Chain A
């Protein structure tokens, strides 16, 4: 009798633990491929030799271009430069019609957050990798893991569902920003990021 009771409790607990730890992440996130596959490695490598800030520019008045517009791509890819199907789609579906590529932004923040790259790059002297990891050296774009409820990327919350960060650049929640600010002695106020 007692064994049966323990068995039922254990089965119940085990089932939900398995669901919560393993099935839940698959259920809550859905994977969406980027519209075009893009290789940072190729574009910054020897063959093309672009620097990061040639596409991701910080203007003199502090504005950051973020992901460049298709006009930037068109400066080289007015016609296909190679033979990959993705480049052909880039030219045919976006460059020639002048249509913006609907990139899925891993680092997209909520509407109530105002983030400025200028103080982080110029004042704090942070490298891009500090927050974005080795994305700039990637050979392809990984799928965008979208939270089905909130619509934000899994990158914002971090790979781990429980919170501990394995690397410095994991996670872009308010707590992550705040932790880094505290480490660097930055005094915070609500209005600094929420206007």
Chain B
């Protein structure tokens, strides 16, 4: 045999060596070790080491304002925990709150003012100096004034002291107006407020006193209201409230409900009127309601045609269920009827909300324990003065707004941008966003100004809309604000200065104005402070000074007002000025659900508060939204298996969902919990919310929604076809 080593020998040796290597632990261990090695390079930041400590604050990522205990290492918050104290939320944190300490480091975080340029379907950001930005805004405001066009602020978190300052500032600008975010949680309470015109102050919801709750579209188990409160409400043992949920698709709330009434989208008003029919026909309405309802006779005439059978035919809810529900509500103790908003799907619309709230007023005779309860409003931060009007978005004339400020500094909201776009003047409109992140609504702006996110700036938590009494808390910052973050009050002041307006107050920063409001609360002498650290309760009257009051709030506490008397004996209207529209719906009940062959489906967008309330969410939440089936993906169109068969769609296949407003590409998923004829699509989180900055502004389901009554967008006619 030849002993010379040939090339073939070397190749054989190499082949054997490769096989041998793969059968040894070396390559697998090296892969692991190299991965760890790359995580330990000297330039990769690591959390500092230091003494552990605990600090208290409040979560400002949604209006609920839950108490938060932050565990800190070396003064850096490393984990957030719920705190079991006697507040509205009662000790709960949602996934958004639990991961809130990640947000200051979010990839979509803005560090400097920028101009957003959209061209040829792409989006670029260009740096801009703040002085130049202010000059540009001032010019735009001046031009708007000269042209008789409006200057508006779209406030994603109305009710704050900063919200009031916007109104004071814009009162000095011709055509100034402040617009609360459309579809915001609690927006429907404005409808019932108009139905009880003599009631001063605001309304809260006394869930704890109710024995039964009939919810039209309020996702109680999915973040509506104050999340911890709803969880307690649905989880109470023998005292558990009897929940009836009206929703077209299965959800966590319908699963927890004692009865699910799957009414077809857009038929909620008819269902409410049908329930009212049963109450009146069976004599289940109390004398108080009969005595205080101004338009009871008109209401009775309207509902007379909506027997349970007629309502069943229109809504798809069985007649027996309608009758049984009405009887349960009337006989089962205090019943609270609520018209809700979906965080992604928006409101039911004024007409439907009126029918729903009217049903509640009929049952309860107005405000009472276990139902709607009156509550005082928080004092404003400063003295009375001219205020720019508050207008809902749909009340603005189309093409009337030349300058729009998007205040997403304290949170965001989900709604179709098209609703806003049609209010902007056709040419030359300027949109300026205040936001910590280049995500969410802020990407629609022309100019963005970076503000401090949660844990970096003082944020205020005014009364959550569902609270039965006024409350006030402060989200104390636990981190130094990053250089470049602009305070919203400082920005408004700077814009005013640049546009020649006299400043409206003594405040220079958000902390100043929030502290001023706290001082006014203290001077009122009402209520109590509940400390988060130990639950200690101190009456406001026992706090020696406004500074001491502020100190307690900053250390982590919530001020709670005294409850007002629940029964106020005010007259109310059951039809709220929309009797004509309700009568039309009742008269056309049998055509309510006639399908259009061109648009055979109804699009129901759905969202969760812990995604839509903040433009950015922790990238860790991919565990919920992408890597598990726990939350529905915004990339999926859910249809009933019957619907899929009828449209020749297969689960997992690609499809195009189209409405009159546009089209998006989605993946088909089937779910028997979605009624036939409905397509459900989840709203958010989009890729930019989870950290992919380049993906901001990509089309989503809200871009094809719209065209409903007022500023509603749920229930668009749609079609779904294989791509």
A interface residues (Cβ-Cβ under 8 A, vs B): 3-5, 8-17, 19-21, 24, 28, 63, 110-111, 114, 147, 149-152, 157, 161-162, 190-191, 195
Known interface pairs A12-B20, A16-B21, A20-B21; A28-B33 also in contact (CB < 8 Å): yes
Given A24-B25, A63-B52, A191-B99, 12 other A-B contacts at CB below 8 A? A9-B12, A12-B17, A12-B19, A12-B20, A13-B17, A13-B20, A14-B16, A16-B17, A17-B24, A20-B23, A20-B26, A191-B98
Cβ 8 A contact of A114, one of B26, B34, B78: B78
Known interface pairs A21-B25, A111-B47; A11-B13 also in contact (CB < 8 Å): yes
Known interface pairs A8-B12, A20-B21, A24-B26; A149-B620 also in contact (CB < 8 Å): no
Q: Shortest CB–CB separation between residue B320 and chain A, in angstroms?
A: 41
Known interface pairs A17-B23, A149-B33; A191-B17 also in contact (CB < 8 Å): no
Which residues from B are CB-within-8-Å of A3? 1
* Bound-complex Cα distance A121 to B24 (A): 38
Which residues from B are CB-within-8-Å of A21? 24-25
Cβ 8 A contact of B16, one of A4, A9, A111, A149: A9
B287 within 8 A of A: no
Q: Which residue of B lies closest to A149 (CB)?
A: B33
Q: Which residue of B lies closest to A4 (CB)?
A: B1
Known interface pairs A114-B79, A190-B620; A16-B36 also in contact (CB < 8 Å): no
Which residues from A are CB-within-8-Å of B24? 16-17, 19-21, 24
* Bound-complex Cα distance A139 to B20 (A): 40
User: Judging by beta carbons under 8 Å apart, are B623 and A161 in contact?
Assistant: no
Q: Which residue of B lies closest to A150 (CB)?
A: B36
3 A-B pairs with the lowest CB-CB distances in the bound complex, closest first: A20-B24, A12-B16, A16-B20
* Bound-complex Cα distance A17 to B18 (A): 10
User: Judging by beta carbons under 8 Å apart, are A195 and B20 in contact?
Assistant: no
* Bound-complex Cα distance A5 to B78 (A): 60
Q: In chain B, residues 18-63, which have Cβ atoms closer than 8 Å to a Cβ of chain A?
A: 18-21, 23-26, 29-30, 32-34, 36-37, 39-40, 46-47, 52
Q: Shortest CB–CB separation between residue A129 and chain B, in angstroms?
A: 26
* Bound-complex Cα distance A10 to B9 (A): 11
Q: Shortest CB–CB separation between residue B2 and chain A, in angstroms?
A: 8
Question: Max chain A CB contacts within 10 Å: which of B1, B12, B30, B47?
Answer: B12
Cβ 8 A contact of B15, one of A12, A17, A147, A161: A12
Q: List 20 A-B contacts (CB under 8 A).
A: A5-B12, A9-B13, A9-B16, A9-B19, A11-B16, A12-B18, A14-B20, A16-B18, A16-B26, A17-B24, A20-B23, A21-B25, A28-B29, A28-B30, A114-B79, A149-B34, A149-B36, A190-B623, A191-B99, A195-B101
Which residues from A are CB-within-8-Å of B32? 150, 157
Which residues from B are CB-within-8-Å of A13? 16-17, 19-20, 23
User: Judging by beta carbons under 8 Å apart, are B15 and A9 in contact?
Assistant: yes
B426 within 8 A of A: no
Which residues from A are CB-within-8-Å of B18? 12, 16
Kindly state the interface size class of chain B when it binds its partner: 35 or more
B14 within 8 A of A: yes
Cβ 8 A contact of A15, one of B20, B40, B620: B20
Q: Which residue of A lies closest to B45 (CB)?
A: A111
* Bound-complex Cα distance A15 to B17 (A): 7
Q: Shortest CB–CB separation between residue A53 and chain B, in angstroms?
A: 19
Which residues from A are CB-within-8-Å of B8? 5
Question: Max chain A CB contacts within 10 Å: which of B17, B20, B39?
Answer: B20
Q: Shortest CB–CB separation between residue A173 and chain B, in angstroms?
A: 9
User: Judging by beta carbons under 8 Å apart, are A150 and B16 in contact?
Assistant: no
B interface residues (Cβ-Cβ under 8 A, vs A): 1, 8-9, 12-21, 23-26, 29-30, 32-34, 36-37, 39-40, 46-47, 52, 78-79, 98-99, 101, 620, 623
Which residues from B are CB-within-8-Å of A14? 16, 20
* Bound-complex Cα distance A48 to B227 (A): 56
* Bound-complex Cα distance A191 to B82 (A): 14
* Bound-complex Cα distance A30 to B99 (A): 39
Q: Which residue of B lies closest to A10 (CB)?
A: B16
Q: Shortest CB–CB separation between residue A101 and chain B, in angstroms?
A: 17
Which residues from B are CB-within-8-Å of A24? 24-26, 29
Known interface pairs A19-B26, A110-B36; A12-B12 also in contact (CB < 8 Å): yes
Known interface pairs A8-B12, A9-B13, A12-B13; A161-B25 also in contact (CB < 8 Å): yes
Which residues from B are CB-within-8-Å of A147? 33, 36
User: Judging by beta carbons under 8 Å apart, are A191 and B620 in contact?
Assistant: yes
* Bound-complex Cα distance A127 to B360 (A): 59
User: Judging by beta carbons under 8 Å apart, are B46 and A111 in contact?
Assistant: yes
Which residues from A are CB-within-8-Å of B78? 114, 195
Known interface pairs A28-B33, A161-B25; A8-B13 also in contact (CB < 8 Å): yes
Q: Shortest CB–CB separation between residue A120 and chain B, in angstroms?
A: 17
* Bound-complex Cα distance A150 to B26 (A): 14
* Bound-complex Cα distance A67 to B32 (A): 28
User: Judging by beta carbons under 8 Å apart, are B20 and A17 in contact?
Assistant: yes
Which residues from B are CB-within-8-Å of A111? 46-47
Question: Max chain B CB contacts within 10 Å: which of A9, A21, A111?
Answer: A9
Q: Which residue of A lies closest to B51 (CB)?
A: A63
Q: Shortest CB–CB separation between residue B414 and chain A, in angstroms?
A: 25
Which residues from A are CB-within-8-Å of B101? 195
Q: Shortest CB–CB separation between residue A114 and chain B, in angstroms?
A: 7
Q: Shortest CB–CB separation between residue A27 and chain B, in angstroms?
A: 9
Q: Shortest CB–CB separation between residue A8 and chain B, in angstroms?
A: 4
Q: Shortest CB–CB separation between residue A67 and chain B, in angstroms?
A: 14
* Bound-complex Cα distance A135 to B17 (A): 40
* Bound-complex Cα distance A147 to B29 (A): 11
Which residues from B are CB-within-8-Å of A11? 13, 16
Q: Shortest CB–CB separation between residue A168 and chain B, in angstroms?
A: 22
Q: Shortest CB–CB separation between residue B707 and chain A, in angstroms?
A: 41
* Bound-complex Cα distance A107 to B24 (A): 26
Known interface pairs A17-B23, A19-B26; A150-B33 also in contact (CB < 8 Å): yes
Which residues from A are CB-within-8-Å of B46? 111
User: Judging by beta carbons under 8 Å apart, are A20 and B25 in contact?
Assistant: yes
* Bound-complex Cα distance A52 to B671 (A): 57
* Bound-complex Cα distance A151 to B41 (A): 11
Q: Which residue of A lies closest to B19 (CB)?
A: A13
* Bound-complex Cα distance A170 to B160 (A): 56
* Bound-complex Cα distance A161 to B27 (A): 11
User: Judging by beta carbons under 8 Å apart, are A149 and B37 in contact?
Assistant: yes
Cβ 8 A contact of B79, one of A16, A63, A191: A191
User: Judging by beta carbons under 8 Å apart, are A162 and B17 in contact?
Assistant: no
Which residues from B are CB-within-8-Å of A162? 25
